[in-house]
Amino acid sequence: MKGNTAGKLEKILSSDGFAITAECGPPRGADAQVIRNKAQVLNGYVDAVNVTDNQTAIVRMSSIAACAHLMAMGLEPIMQMVTRDRNRIALQSDILGAYSLGIQNILCLSGDHQTFGSHPEALNVFDIDSMNLVRMVLDMREEGRDMSGFDLKKPPRMFIGAAANPFADPFEYRVIRLAKKIDAGADFIQTQCVYNMDRFKDWIRMAREEGLTEKVHILAGVTPLKSEGMARYMARRVAGMDVPEPLIKRMGGVPKKKAAEEGVKICLETIAEVREIKDVHGIHIMAIEWEEIVGEIVETAGLMPRPTLKS
Amino acid sequence: MIVGEQKSIEEIKKIVSPYKKVLILGCGTCVKTCFAGGEDEVAVLASALRLAFKKDGRQIEVEEFTVERQCEDEFVQESAEAIDRNESVLSLACGAGVQAIARRYEETPVLPGVNTTFLGVLEKHGLFTEECSGCGDCQLAVFGSVCPYTRCAKKLLNGPCGGSREGKCEVDPETDCAWNLIIHRLKMLGQLNNLRVYIPPKNWSGSGSCGPRKLIRKDHIL
Amino acid sequence: MEKQFKPKISVFHCINVFGDGEVLLPPERQDAAVEFIKLPCSSMIKDVFMLRAFEAGADAVMVMVCPEGACRYVEGNLRAKKRVGWVKNLLDEIGLDGRRLGLFNVPSEDAAVVGQIIEQTLSDLADLGPNPAA
């Protein structure tokens, strides 16, 4: 693995540590305090905070700005960047700007389609795809050039992440796509939420057989369920999500008041199981609008204290 | 072919309302095939408009005429007399046809009666699907002859997104996932290795983002 | 005094449903303004025919077709049904009320059914009133 950015996330991963990241969605407004409050509850429990970029195509405070607020509080951000809203000029410009602010990590995504969001009448961009974005960030770091081939003065050196969904169709293709992302330059991979453990293990096995797990750090995505309704909604409505029926039943099998507790329990079992898989190097906790539970999960999972590397 | 869809009667009424004499001008090529602006659709729209205006107590004369192709001057000429008799033209051609008529009849308002939607294929009688964006840089050879620029809602060049489910697109479950089709085709062709090839960013400079495009065939210009 | 509303109805029908509509008209309606237009098959009905009938002053337009499954040309009556549905929407859009147009599956030469349908249409027209674009 090439790399050698200045971030803590890369340091932990490259020293065989088990990394913990959590998702943080910026607010639908300009109040930095919302970010600070979320940061407060995450501080100390995670190694880096993954900041979404207008997730589900809903207009929110920009990922870059929210990352800056997190850094001011001493947290290391992972800036998500989607190709939906910016062409290659804007993407590169924002990456330069983000790095100038001290942002060390990027997660390259294509982004949820705008028809699912608050502005279905918007024009999407998709000038390049997430694979191209990964390569662009890599070329900036390794070649010191922008996409046009121009030599950048002080090129950004970012730790590059990409997403993978082991549960989407067509399954056979999922590992090929992973291989392409790694070739394009991904240093770490964040997966879709793991509920179907059998399929996840299958995917890891296939990746291992292709020699991919040695080339990249895989972080397993986990999302604590809050209720049976949420489980069912994710199973039915959220594209690319695989929530097996027995799990939904399990959520429904406890009294409503205890459902969230059960969800956390399931999450902890998932974490325990993925920690047993040697090719998984960390977890990414997506506690959607439930950041306050992250600390409890990390603590109960026995993942405290977090390494105190200087970033 | 070019696919279009007739505008709603309500919108058309609004567009033609300033005029007392309207010529509905059909086009007998693409929009005829997709039931938007051929002779039959001209007749129906004319009749519907006459009824609509009569109901509203308005005196608007509606005349009908259809030419073979509104995008070729040679055919446009046939409509000269009918256009002269009217105050305005409601063209049921694609946007190119509307502009070709407007270019020839500078002093006549030429109005659109159709929303031009896409370059498509007649999948079965009554069903038209978009398959080409006219990007000016065809890469179908790599993709098993299925265009991801046009048929993937995210224009993904390097494989499917994570939202594809049972071969359908997450944006519209009625639409096939383009990448599912590509993978199927490549499998049939024994070219699955194409999937491992990194596809660099697309060159959009021929796609219309640099202003209107032109095709010049010097061998055909005197 | 307001003039009494005398409804005008145009009936498009397949010749396989009945040959001569006048004969099937209920005796008490022999003087009603019902016009019969024969079609070799109901699939010959075009959108514009129905609209033109309204332009010509019809208050209601009826399309009488063979029962489903009984079309001599297999799917003629199904095509007629689709077109009637399309034009009904158009009439709603114009503000003429799609209920003025109807498709009816009629068994062959069944005077009773034809009579009933016409009676029903006339009674519907009492509510709908005259064609506002006539």
Task: For residue C67, give the CATH number of its domain.
Answer: 3.40.50.960
Residue of C50, C89, C85 whose CA lies nearest to B10 = C89
Gap from C78 CA to chain B (nearest CA, Å): 14
Rounded to a whole number, what is the distance in Å from the CA of B99 to chain A's nearest CA? 24
Residue with tokens 């790399």: A3
Q: How far is CA A38 from the centre of its chain?
A: 17
CA distances B89 to A121, A194, B12, B85, Å, are 30, 60, 12, 10
- As given in the structure block, the two tokens for residue A107 are 């997660």
Residues of B in contact with C93 (CB under 8 A): 8-10, 48
Whole-number pLDDT of residue A310: 56
Confidence tier at C3 by pLDDT (50, 70, 90): low
Give the residue among A248, A260, A242 at the shortest CA–CA distance from A297. Answer: A260
Strands B114-124 and B127-132 come out as antiparallel
User: CB–CB of A17/A307 below 8 Å?
Assistant: yes
Domain containing residue B50: CATH number: 3.40.50.2300
Are residues B84 and B27 located together in one domain of the fold?
yes
Interatomic CA distance for residues B127 and C127, integer angstroms: 38
The two tokens of residue B192 are 């699955």
Rg of chain B over all Cα atoms, to the nearest angstrom? 21
Most A CBs within 10 Å: which of B133, B186, B198, as the mutation test of the A interface?
B198
Q: Is residue C32 domain-resident? A: yes
Q: Is the CB of B166 inside 8 Å of chain A's CB atoms? A: yes
Bond prior to C27 in cis (omega within 30° of 0): no
What are residue A178's phi and psi, to 5 degrees?
A: -60, -45
Q: Domain locations in chain A?
A: 8-300
Q: How confident is the model at residue A311 (pLDDT cuts 50, 70, 90)?
A: very low
| Residue A276 Cα to chain centre, angstroms | 21
For residue C31, what pLDDT is reported? 60
Could you tell me if B189 and B146 lie in one domain?
A: yes
State whether the Cα torsion C52-C53-C54-C57 is positive or negative: positive
pLDDT at residue number C24: 76
Q: Which residues of B touch C48 (CB under 8 A)?
A: 40, 43-44, 47
Name which of A164, A129, A160 is nearest A142 in CA terms. Answer: A160
CA distance B171 to chain A (A): 7
Same structural domain for residues B74 and B164?
no
CA distances (Å), origin C87, targets A60, A224, B114, C102: 46, 53, 18, 10
Q: Which residues of A touch B202 (CB under 8 A)?
A: 127-128
Q: Is residue B110 domain-shared with residue B145, that is, in the same domain? A: no
Give the pair of three-digit tokens for residue C42: 């109901």
Percent of chain A clearing pLDDT 70 (strictly above): 98
Kindly state the DSSP code that residue A285 receives in the 8-state scheme.
E
Q: What angle do CA A265, A269, A275 make, to 5 degrees?
A: 145
Average pLDDT over residues B38-52: 97
- Average of pLDDT values for C29-34? 73
Three-class SS state of C101: strand
- Quick one: which H or E segment has residue C34? strand C33-39
B61 and B166 part of one domain: no
Tokens of A235: 């199973």
Distances in whole angstroms, Cα of residue B138 to Cα of each of A250, B143, B166, B178: 51, 10, 28, 16
Instruction: Check residue C1 and give its pLDDT.
Output: 42
Task: Please report whether residue B95 resides in a domain.
Answer: yes
**What is the distance in angstroms between the CA of the first residue and the CA of the last residue of chain A?**
19
What percent of chain A stands above pLDDT 90? 92
Work out the pLDDT band at A3, boundaries 50, 70, 90: low
Rg for chain A, CA atoms, rounded: 19
Partner chains of A (3+ C-beta pairs under 8 Å): B
Report the distance separating Cα A199 and Cα A2, nearest Å: 30
Q: For residue B124, what pLDDT is reported? A: 93
Chains that touch C (3 or more CB pairs under 8 A): B
In the beta sheet, which residues pair with residue B161? none
- Is B37 an 8 Å CB contact of chain A? no
> C131 to chain B, minimum CA–CA distance in Å?
8
Structure tokens at B104: 């020839």
Identify the architecture of domain A8-300 in CATH: Alpha-Beta Barrel (3.20)
Are B103 and B28 within one domain?
Answer: yes
- The sign of the CA dihedral A195, A46, A164, A54 is positive
Q: Is B48 on the interface with C (CB under 8 A)?
A: yes
Find the DSSP H helices in chain C: 21-24, 47-55, 76-94, 111-128
Mean per-residue pLDDT over chain C, rounded: 91
**% of chain C exceeding 70 in pLDDT:** 95
The single residue listed with the structure tokens 């446009």 is B76
Name residues whose C-beta falls within 8 Å of residue A302's C-beta, 6 or more positions apart in sequence. Answer: none
CA separation (Å) from A56 to A112, A114, A276, C126?
5, 7, 32, 54
Tokens of A250: 């399990």
> Is the pLDDT assigned to residue C30 strictly greater than 80?
no
Using CB atoms, pick whichever of B154, B155, B198 lies closest to residue A183. B198
ipTM: 0.90
Mean pLDDT score, A24-37: 96
* pLDDT digit string, tens, across residues A135-145: 999 999 999 99
**End-of-domain residue from the set B92, B117, B142:** B117
CB proximity B159 to A under 8 Å? yes
CA–CA distance, A95 with A105 (Å, rounded to integer):
10
Quote the number of domains for chain C: 1
Residue-averaged pLDDT of chain A: 95
Do A117 and A58 contact (CB within 8 A), yes or no?
yes
| Angstrom distance (rounded) from CA A25 to CA A60 | 8
For B156, the domain range is 133-194
Question: Considering chain C, what percentage of its residues have pLDDT values greater than 90?
Answer: 75
Kindly state the tokens that stand for C28: 């008490």
**Is C82's Cβ below 8 Å from some Cβ in B?**
no
Amino acid, res. A283: I
> In whole angstroms, what is the distance from residue C104 CA to residue C63 CA?
6
How many distinct structural domains can be found in chain B?
2
Read off the pLDDT of residues B129-184 as tens digits, 9 standing for 90 and up: 999 999 999 999 999 999 999 999 999 999 999 888 889 999 999 999 999 999 99
C116: Cα within 13 Å, side-chain hemisphere: 8
Q: By percentage, how much of chain B surpasses pLDDT 70? A: 100
Q: Confidence class of residue B76 from pLDDT cuts 50, 70 and 90?
A: very high
Q: Which parts of chain A fold into alpha helices (H)?
A: 8-14, 32-42, 63-72, 88-100, 130-142, 171-184, 197-209, 228-237, 245-252, 259-275, 292-300
Burial of C133 (0-12, 13-18, 19+ CB in 10 A): buried
CA C73 remoteness from chain centre: 21
Identify all chain B residues contacting A177, using CB atoms and an 8 Å cutoff.
Answer: 158-160
B8 close contact with C: CB closer than 8 A: yes
Q: Encode pLDDT of A153-208 as tens digits.
A: 999 999 999 999 999 888 878 899 999 999 999 999 999 999 999 999 999 999 99
- Rounded Cα distance between A132 and A259, Å, is 41
Question: Omega of the bond prior to A166 within 30 degrees of 0, cis?
Answer: no
Helix (H, G, I), strand (E, B) or coil at A309: coil
The verdict on a CB contact (< 8 Å) between A88 and B201 is yes
CB-count exposure of residue A105 (10 Å: 0-12, 13-18, 19+): buried
Which among A126, A173, A184 is the nearest to B160, CB-wise? A173
B213 occurs within a structural domain: no
Judgement on whether residues B56 and B161 belong to the same structural domain of the protein: no
Q: If DSSP codes are grouped into helix, strand and coil, which group holds residue A63?
A: helix
Mutate to test the interface with B, among A131, A134, A167 (most CBs of B within 10 A): A131
Concatenating the DSSP letter of every residue in chain B gives: -EEEEEPPHHHHHHHHTT-SEEEEEEESSHHHHTTSSSHHHHHHHHHHHHHHHHHTT---EEEEEEES-TTSHHHHGGGHHHHHHSSEEEE-S-HHHHHHHHHH-TTS-EEE-EEEEEEEEEEETTEEEEEE---SS--TTTTTT--HHHHSTT--SSS--TT-BTTB-SS-TTSB-HHHHHHHHHHHHT-GGGGGSPPPPP--TTTTBTB------GGG--
| Residue B5, pLDDT above cutoff 90 | yes
Q: Which domain holds residue C15?
A: 8-128
Burial of A209 (0-12, 13-18, 19+ CB in 10 A): exposed
Residue C27 lies in a domain: yes
